[in-house]
């Protein structure tokens, strides 16, 4: 049986413009978009119509970089840069996830807020702990959200209680891969970043990625001190990206690198060649005084770019707030670059937050035919009252000034999760 959703449908199939179908019908079959039409006359078989007239129907948001275990730390320690922030706030919090009871409390709250804020697909860092990582994956499976989850790997330069033995780190990772096969929520190989992974660990993780065809995520060139540190740790390798590449973790399987602020042109070119996704985390990059990623340059080089909330370096799970910050940051970059790197348009940033990041999952993040039916129903009546705005203006107003209370329903694979 088909399910049909009536409303003002708007999405991006490319970064340059919106597809807009006002007062139309979104037809969903087996969790996938079948078509959008203006009337239902041509449809002969059984169907159920859910009427969201005057509401916006938009793709669910895609968050390709966030740390679920840092959820309770949101908004804390924003007076520090990356490395001291990790040591003072983040590592002590992550160490608590050895305790599965604690993990359960945080992860249940995290998932419920993820749904409330309309994020239907996400690529997540858990912690080094196998049990609580498996728990997070179970809870996400129950929630029906779409996700990749990474057990974090670290065997050097971290606090004592988060530093793993290399063998154990690899064994736990493989256990998770084997234990979650065939489930909706998938594992992703997650070396935290070069400074906290020995060559042996990186090589071992690359072997697992290849053996089981598992994707990879990590951090790249977020902070100048971090870049210097990597140079000291691997003086024989020409740049940061090439360290990952040398150890087989840079596009050998599907890969996301987060931040990418101080990356050289040579590294960006390598990302483009290898199909490595960049996760842009504007809010986090502001908060930790990291800098502004030159997104326009990546797009010009043909790199795929998605958006990451990067909680709790980022201060909110809200992807609309990240869209706004992404556009704002690109405007400052435009000024900084002597008006060379042109600012991102609203459609470009919206695309990044939906179909752009969604491509990491496959046909996700759009409402074109054949795409997963992941979408939000937005009641924007408290934002737009009185003036008669079209769907494009209403979407802008919702993204720039709305919040999660405007999201009245959330669907994943055509099934309601909020």
Binding footprint of a copy of itself on the chain (CB under 8 A)? 72, 74-76, 78-79, 105-106, 109, 283, 286-287, 289, 291-292, 315-316, 324, 327-329, 331-332, 334-336, 343, 345-346, 383, 385-387, 393, 396-401, 403, 405
Give alpha helix (H) positions in 117-198. 130-143, 166-179
- String of DSSP letters for 25-42: EEEEETTEEEEEES-STT
Nearer to a copy of itself, 109 or 211 (CB): 109
Cβ partners under 8 Å of residue 226, min gap 6: 82, 83, 193, 195, 219
- Taking the complex as a whole, the smallest distance from the CB of residue 150 to a copy of itself amounts, in Å, to 23
CA 2 – CA 4 distance, rounded (Å): 6
At 110 the three-state DSSP class reads: helix
Q: Which of 58, 14, 64 is nearest to 360 (CA)?
A: 64
SS (H, E, C) 298-343: HHHCCCCEEECCCECCECCCCHHHHHHHHHHHHHHHHHHCCCCCCC
At 385 the three-state DSSP class reads: coil
Nearer to a copy of itself, 166 or 321 (CB): 321
Task: Provide the token pair at 372.
Answer: 């997963």
CA atoms within 13 Å, Cβ hemisphere of 129: 21
In angstroms, the Cα distances linking 309 to 48, 64, 287, 326, 353 are 36, 8, 12, 11, 10
Task: Provide the token pair at 132.
Answer: 């609580």
Cβ partners under 8 Å of residue 134, min gap 6: 176, 179, 180
Nearer to a copy of itself, 87 or 112 (CB): 112
- Taking the complex as a whole, the smallest distance from the CB of residue 397 to a copy of itself amounts, in Å, to 4
Nearer to a copy of itself, 276 or 344 (CB): 344
Task: Provide the token pair at 222.
Answer: 């977020």
CA 372 – CA 361 distance, rounded (Å): 10
Residues 203-227: b if buried by 16+ CB within 10 A, e if exposed: bbbbebbeeeebbbbbbbbbbeebb
Nearer to a copy of itself, 255 or 316 (CB): 316
Q: Provide the sign of the torsion angle of the four alpha carbons 195, 196, 201, 207, taken in this order.
A: negative
- Taking the complex as a whole, the smallest distance from the CB of residue 205 to a copy of itself amounts, in Å, to 32
Nearer to a copy of itself, 236 or 388 (CB): 388
Q: What angle do CA 237, 278, 338 make, to 5 degrees?
A: 90
CA 324 – CA 280 distance, rounded (Å): 12
CA 401 – CA 418 distance, rounded (Å): 21
């Amino acid at each position: 049986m088909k399910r049909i959703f009536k409303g003002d449908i708007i999405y991006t199939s490319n970064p340059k413009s919106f597809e807009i179908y006002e007062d139309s019908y979104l037809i969903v079959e087996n969790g996938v978009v079948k078509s959008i039409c203006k009337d239902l006359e041509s449809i002969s078989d059984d169907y159920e119509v859910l009427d969201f007239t005057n509401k916006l129907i938009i793709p669910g948001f895609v968050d390709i970089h966030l740390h679920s275990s840092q959820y309770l730390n949101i908004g804390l320690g924003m007076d520090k840069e990356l490395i001291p922030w990790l040591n003072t706030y983040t590592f002590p919090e992550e160490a608590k996830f050895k305790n599965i009871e604690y993990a359960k409390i945080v992860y249940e709250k995290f998932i419920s807020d993820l749904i409330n804020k309309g994020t239907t697909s996400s690529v997540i860092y858990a912690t080094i702990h196998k049990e609580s990582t498996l728990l997070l994956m179970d809870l996400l499976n129950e929630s029906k959200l779409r996700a990749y989850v990474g057990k974090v790997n670290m065997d050097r330069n971290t606090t004592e209680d988060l530093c793993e033995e290399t063998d154990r780190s690899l064994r736990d990772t493989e256990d998770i891969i084997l234990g979650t096969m065939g489930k909706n929520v998938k594992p992703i190989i997650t070396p935290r970043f070069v400074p906290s992974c020995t060559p042996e660990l990186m090589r071992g993780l690359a072997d697992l990625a290849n053996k089981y065809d598992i994707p990879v995520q990590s951090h790249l060139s977020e902070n100048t001190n971090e870049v210097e540190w990597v140079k000291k740790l691997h003086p024989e390798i020409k740049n940061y990206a090439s360290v990952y590449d040398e150890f087989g973790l840079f596009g050998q399987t599907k890969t996301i690198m987060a931040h990418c602020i101080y990356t050289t042109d040579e590294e960006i070119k390598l990302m483009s060649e290898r199909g490595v996704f960049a996760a842009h985390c504007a809010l986090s990059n502001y908060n930790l005084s990291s800098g502004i990623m030159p997104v326009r340059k990546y797009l010009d080089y043909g790199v795929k770019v998605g958006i990451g909330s990067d909680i709790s370096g980022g201060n909110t799970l809200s992807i609309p707030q990240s869209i706004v910050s992404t556009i704002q940051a690109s405007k400052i970059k435009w000024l900084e670059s002597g008006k060379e790197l042109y600012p991102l348009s609203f459609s470009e940033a919206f695309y990044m937050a939906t179909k752009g990041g969604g491509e990491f999952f496959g046909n996700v993040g759009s409402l074109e035919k054949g795409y997963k039916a992941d979408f939000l129903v937005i009641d924007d009546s408290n934002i737009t009252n009185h003036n008669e705005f079209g769907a494009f203006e209403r979407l802008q107003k919702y993204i720039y000034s709305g919040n999660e209370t405007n999201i009245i329903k959330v669907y994943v694979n055509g099934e309601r999760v909020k």
